[in-house]
A = this chain, B = another copy of it.
Amino acid sequence: MAELLPGMLQMSAGSDETLSHQLTRQLRSLITSGRLVPGQRLPSSRHLAQSLNVSRNTVTSAIEQLAAEGYLGTSAGRRAVVTSGLSLMADTAQPKHNAERADHGKLSHWARSLQKAGWPPVYGGRPRPFQPGLADEREFPHEIWGRCLRRAAGSKRLRANRAHNHPALQQTLLQHLAEHRGITAKPSQIIIVPSAQAGIALIAKAMIDAGDVVWVESPGYGGAVVALQAAGAVVAGVPIDKSGLAVRDRKDAPRLIFVTPSHQYPSGQLMPVGRRLELLRYADATGASIIEDDYDGEFHYEARPVSALQGLAASTRIFYLGTFSKSMFADIRIGYIVVPEALIETFELAQRHLGLLASVTVQDALAEFIGAGAYLAHIRRATRLYKVRRERMLGALEAEAGGRLTIDVPPGGMQLLARCATASNDRLLSARLLDAGVVARPLSSLLFHKSREQGLFLGFAAWNEKEIDRAARILGRIVR
């Protein structure tokens, strides 16, 4: 068949693909399809070149490539030979799609459980009012941020320092946190991760063994629940009251307690200092650690932001968790944990093992953005804006659905909880709202204890007054 080979090849001089590349690809395909069989010798490169009307170099290059890939055997002065042991290739090359698809059920138990978790809620497409958790990215100074990014790209100081937690950001961020959030720590205690979710996953993996009990607020943040469960935690929802999570004597002493004391997720309420101290005392007494998620603690409308739990007692049991995805924009992909000093080294190792590293270029840009005052200026501007939007939202909901919804006015943050005053089905309500172009998360989907509470969790920060009014009208129509 060697003599027939040139006839099986079609070289096209006008193609984008080089002649050598064409020849390599076609020969490979003849071998994998079984039309050139193991042990078969190719014509000499001179002969092949003449037959195909290409240069001998073209042929030699293709043969060398296929030899490198293992399809052909070559030795000096002899014609190339198709490698043996490839005989089952044709079989293997045919994917057994249907049979193998079923076989992919061989996921881990955890992966198989993901669909059932119901988190994250997926809305698809462009964000719509009142999707919670979103900042108004139209109001972010992207131009300044873009300049910071460009300056950081390839900056020599990045190459000189290989730390994954960038000291310049640790330093600047700590100054900000100490001044505005009351954090007490050394810069090296700040571990920079790709997101708050990654931060929870990291803490969970480092602190939880399979079967350990973790308390979360109920209603509470589903993202924490799934990240904790991924590490094997048994998650127990503890009902909140107006002051947040109340520690009480339960049989299941927790290894870890997840709380959102600045603005409880989803109620938006502040945990008062008395309750905070109760929590700290309980943790001290039982040996539990605390994750303090301060996801939108920068935005406070009644007074200055309340100091974080972490700084209250200089406790060595608290993991303070923050993110720039609420205070800047969702895609920044920088979250951070302030870890107890004794655990710095363990957490640095853990983040390497799990690959939970954030771009140092972005970290450097962020250090400049904060250091130059652009961050604080943005926070102040956004706080004024969001405060006005909160008022607008409260007014619009009162006008459109007053009496049907009872709202816990949040002293800060980007969202609020509207409880259904009368018996209703908040999931059905939510589905009907989504059809009408309004996103509202059902309260019942945020409950992690047995409860019949119903309501709607609504974000107000990301939409202007016109958008709020329009969506509130739709919401009012559907709720009534």
A159 to B188 CA separation, bound complex (whole angstroms):
34
On chain B, the residues within 8 Å of A127 by CB distance are 162
A439 to B227 CA separation, bound complex (whole angstroms):
38
A52 to B25 CA separation, bound complex (whole angstroms):
87
The smallest C-beta distance from A142 to any residue of chain B, in angstroms, reads 2
Verify A69–B273 contact, CB threshold 8 A. Answer: yes
User: Could you say which of B97, B115, B140 contacts A349, with CB atoms under 8 Å apart?
Assistant: B115
Stretch at the interface among A204-212, A415-423, A440-448, A466-474: A204-212
Q: A83-B273, A108-B209 are in contact. Are A355 and B147 (CB under 8 A)?
A: no
The smallest C-beta distance from A314 to any residue of chain B, in angstroms, reads 5
Verify B69–A24 contact, CB threshold 8 A. Answer: no
User: Could you say which of B93, B160, B277, B354 contacts A86, with CB atoms under 8 Å apart?
Assistant: B277
Q: Is A70 an interface residue (CB 8 A)?
A: yes
Verify B356–A198 contact, CB threshold 8 A. Answer: yes
Q: Is A274 an interface residue (CB 8 A)?
A: yes
Q: Is A435 an interface residue (CB 8 A)?
A: no
Verify A354–B201 contact, CB threshold 8 A. Answer: yes
A315 to B94 CA separation, bound complex (whole angstroms):
8
Q: Is A332 an interface residue (CB 8 A)?
A: yes
Verify A197–B354 contact, CB threshold 8 A. Answer: yes
On chain B, the residues within 8 Å of A159 by CB distance are 126, 137-138
Verify A114–B357 contact, CB threshold 8 A. Answer: no
Copy tally for this chain in the complex stands at: 2
Q: A64-B302, A64-B303, A194-B357 are in contact. Are A153 and B145 (CB under 8 A)?
A: yes
On chain B, the residues within 8 Å of A151 by CB distance are 146
Verify B342–A104 contact, CB threshold 8 A. Answer: yes
The smallest C-beta distance from A24 to any residue of chain B, in angstroms, reads 7
On chain B, the residues within 8 Å of A314 by CB distance are 93, 95
Which positions 330-345 of chain A face chain B at CB distance < 8 Å?
Answer: 330-333, 335, 340, 342-343
Range class of the A interface residue count: 35 or more
A205 to B65 CA separation, bound complex (whole angstroms):
37
The proximity string for A residues 318-334 relative to B, scoring 1 for CB distances below 8 Å and 0 otherwise, is: 00000000000011110
Verify B153–A274 contact, CB threshold 8 A. Answer: no
A340 to B97 CA separation, bound complex (whole angstroms):
11
Q: Is A346 an interface residue (CB 8 A)?
A: yes
Q: A194-B355, A205-B230, A355-B199 are in contact. Are A346 and B150 (CB under 8 A)?
A: no
Q: Is A287 an interface residue (CB 8 A)?
A: yes
Q: Is A13 an interface residue (CB 8 A)?
A: no
The proximity string for A residues 125-165 relative to B, scoring 1 for CB distances below 8 Å and 0 otherwise, is: 11100000000011010110111011101100011111000
The smallest C-beta distance from A102 to any residue of chain B, in angstroms, reads 9
User: Could you say which of B88, B302, B349, B360 contacts A68, with CB atoms under 8 Å apart?
Assistant: B302
Q: A85-B274, A281-B92, A355-B356 are in contact. Are A350 and B111 (CB under 8 A)?
A: yes
User: Could you say which of B84, B272, B333 contacts A358, with CB atoms under 8 Å apart?
Assistant: B333
Q: Is A480 an interface residue (CB 8 A)?
A: no
The smallest C-beta distance from A55 to any residue of chain B, in angstroms, reads 17
Q: A153-B149, A162-B127, A352-B197 are in contact. Are A70 and B357 (CB under 8 A)?
A: no
Verify B360–A104 contact, CB threshold 8 A. Answer: no
A158 to B137 CA separation, bound complex (whole angstroms):
10
The smallest C-beta distance from A153 to any residue of chain B, in angstroms, reads 3
Verify B357–A333 contact, CB threshold 8 A. Answer: yes
Q: Is A33 an interface residue (CB 8 A)?
A: no
Sample of 20 more A-B contacts, CB < 8 Å, known A68-B304, A114-B353, A137-B154: A24-B304, A68-B302, A68-B303, A69-B306, A84-B274, A85-B277, A86-B277, A92-B277, A95-B315, A104-B342, A106-B289, A107-B207, A142-B153, A146-B150, A150-B150, A196-B355, A198-B355, A198-B356, A201-B353, A335-B355
Using CB atoms and an 8 Å cutoff, list the residues of chain A in contact with chain B.
Answer: 21, 24, 28, 32, 61, 64-65, 67-71, 83-86, 88-89, 92-93, 95, 97, 100-101, 103-104, 106-111, 114-115, 117, 119-120, 125-127, 137-138, 140, 142-143, 145-147, 149-151, 153-154, 158-162, 193-201, 205-210, 226-227, 230-231, 255, 270-278, 280-281, 284, 287, 289, 302-304, 306-307, 312-317, 330-333, 335, 340, 342-343, 346, 349-350, 352-362, 411
Give 6 CB contacts A-B under 8 Å: A85-B274, A86-B273, A103-B316, A104-B316, A137-B159, A227-B353
